[in-house]
Structure 1
């Protein structure tokens, strides 16, 4: 097998995060649910954008956040996701390239526009998010760079993107491509609502041996198994995947790989500022350890350190040298 070009290639929603500070009064004026997240249509997105003050625009989306963390640690990464041929599509491409991630998915002509998450940050640090999924939901299998997929150690798939039909077909094709090349497939369940809609698909993928690394949080584990007891849920899923990783917020995380079990405590921090991206960066830390051949317990610790850094400030991009931070914490 040829030496991989990439450590991780990911497929996910290509979303531009548009973040601006605002007053509590503006949240009320716009009729938003303070601290909540809701899906909006393009007209609503445009109206909210016009109401925003000076904003910061960065590439976002769950899988893209994970890759940004991996790249910051020194991994070679590539992203596959759909943007439109518009201004925010150019912003997404520029920003993801700027953090060292290869991205060559052809832009989509016409409507809808590039996906965006409009984030209003009030003085107390609370984030009110409004997401327009736009073009990200229309990734066709023909847009896949199959050579790049076959040249990556791990194909990482974002569960959120399993919901729309077109990218779901693309991800199935990507799994076939990775498998044919002898590569590993990692999958994150993303959210309980995705499991409610597609849990049977995910269980079938596991039964067919098509998932090598499965990421879930405690609630998602309960949703995929139907078991509220955490240990019972682990016992049901662990035999179906070579590596199972389950996070439990402040209770830390558990991983089971080929019968070996490891646990890691949550990394202590002075103050939790913003939990957005915590799971994404945990996955980044774990995957970086995995592709570098670290033992299971160390992989979990690396994930916990990366997650702790990201929740200590606003935004899903690290504000320190993540690689140096992890190595210093590991000793």
Structure 2
């Protein structure tokens, strides 16, 4: 394997509070942890709970708990659910900058006895998206890291304004990161179209899980991203550059997994926090694994406690 790559150009962040802007989804999660198999046409017992969710919102929440300054940018409905979602994120010390229209998004997370989750989504508020108008220049003028959720990116029908804002942020020394979102969303959007979008945005880091990697691996040598981080569940996390593996780091076994919802968001948050603090890739991955482990021991995307320094 090659040695770790040089980091993208960062400001001197090690000795001050980090500032993150996270762009994407803010939804209500209804989590059903099954206590028995669910068969088509049948009924199963489950522990059903209600949570604030959404990938970018989850990452913003985690970063705020890690003592970073976190700003969430996205869209919610004009309904009572939207009010609750905004307040839930705001009460976690996250700056909330949202456009409001229609009704709020709801995701039903069905979790089997292994902790694996499947989603059923009503993305109503996303119907009003598409022009990237949620993100504005002032949202990135004072940030260190701009993270774009793949869920949100794949809902954008017009990206010229987004590209202009991202380029301005890059010129100002902001680290640009992207996660792929979901392999089903990638298929709907089109793998080639997603690769072209990455080429226009030129992020510094791309986060993928195994399913998303499987969708894009045939084009991995063409991924226009310096660092690609691929989480693979129980299998070692891998880091690629130019389609070539740089390193992989084992995942410690976890007993009594409850719900894997949001594990990837926890990983991204802790990884970025440590990486931007000057830690190397290996140490950043270790802290990402640690927060992901805390997330999967409870229902929903937020752990009961934080043990990341």
- TM score, norm. by length of structure 2: 0.80
Tell me the secondary structure at the aligned position of residue 142 of structure 1: coil
Q: Kindly indicate whether residue 100 of structure 2 is the aligned counterpart of residue 115 of structure 1.
A: no
Q: Distance in 1 between matches of 2:67 and 2:143?
A: 15
Q: Distance in 1 between matches of 2:31 and 2:202?
A: 37
1:18–1:294 CA distance, 2 compared to 1 (3 A): same
Tell me the secondary structure at the aligned position of residue 245 of structure 1: strand
Match of 2:290 in 1: 305
Residue 257 of structure 1, CA deviation: 6.3
Tell me the secondary structure at the aligned position of residue 211 of structure 1: coil
Q: Distance in 1 between matches of 2:277 and 2:256?
A: 30
Listed as ranges, the matches of 1:94-109 within 5 Å are 94-108=87-101
**Which structure has the highest helix share of the two?**
1
Match of 1:44 in 2: none
Task: Please provide the CA RMSD for this pair.
Answer: 3.6
1:91–1:169 CA distance, 2 compared to 1 (3 A): farther
Alignment check: 8 A CA contact 2:145 2:176 kept: yes
Residue 199 of structure 1, CA deviation: 2.1
Q: 1:93 aligns with which of 63, 86, 89?
A: 86
Q: Kindly indicate whether residue 173 of structure 2 is the aligned counterpart of residue 182 of structure 1.
A: yes
Listed as ranges, the matches of 1:71-90 within 5 Å are 71-90=64-83
Q: Render the CA deviation track for 1:286-325: whole Å, top value 9, x for unaligned.
A: 11111211111100101111111111221100111x2xx2
Match of 2:141 in 1: 150
1:115–1:252 CA distance, 2 compared to 1 (3 A): same
Q: 1:133 aligns with which of 104, 123, 140?
A: 123
Residue 71 of structure 1, CA deviation: 1.7
Residue 88 of structure 1, CA deviation: 0.5
Match of 1:279 in 2: 264
Match of 1:163 in 2: 154
Q: Kindly indicate whether residue 59 of structure 2 is the aligned counterpart of residue 66 of structure 1.
A: yes
Match of 1:290 in 2: 275
**Greater mean alpha carbon deviation, residues 266-275 or residues 81-90:** 266-275
Match of 2:4 in 1: none
- TM score, norm. by length of structure 1: 0.75
Alignment check: 8 A CA contact 2:23 2:135 kept: no
1:135–1:6 CA distance, 2 compared to 1 (3 A): farther
Q: Distance in 2 between matches of 1:200 and 1:317?
A: 33
1:264–1:84 CA distance, 2 compared to 1 (3 A): same
Alignment check: 8 A CA contact 1:158 1:187 kept: yes
Tell me the secondary structure at the aligned position of residue 12 of structure 1: strand
**Which structure has the highest strand share of the two?**
2
Q: Kindly indicate whether residue 26 of structure 2 is the aligned counterpart of residue 14 of structure 1.
A: yes
Listed as ranges, the matches of 1:201-240 within 5 Å are 201-208=193-200, 210-226=202-218, 233=220, 236=221, 240=224
Q: Distance in 2 between matches of 1:189 and 1:33?
A: 33
Q: Distance in 2 between matches of 1:159 and 1:166?
A: 13
Q: Distance in 1 between matches of 2:36 and 2:202?
A: 47
1:281–1:126 CA distance, 2 compared to 1 (3 A): closer
Residue 91 of structure 1, CA deviation: 0.8
The answer for unaligned runs of 5 or more in structure 2 is 1-10
The answer for unaligned runs of 5 or more in structure 1 is 36-51, 228-232
Match of 2:7 in 1: none
Alignment check: 8 A CA contact 1:14 1:136 kept: no
Residue 277 of structure 1, CA deviation: 1.0
Q: Distance in 2 between matches of 1:163 and 1:5?
A: 31
Residue 13 of structure 1, CA deviation: 1.7
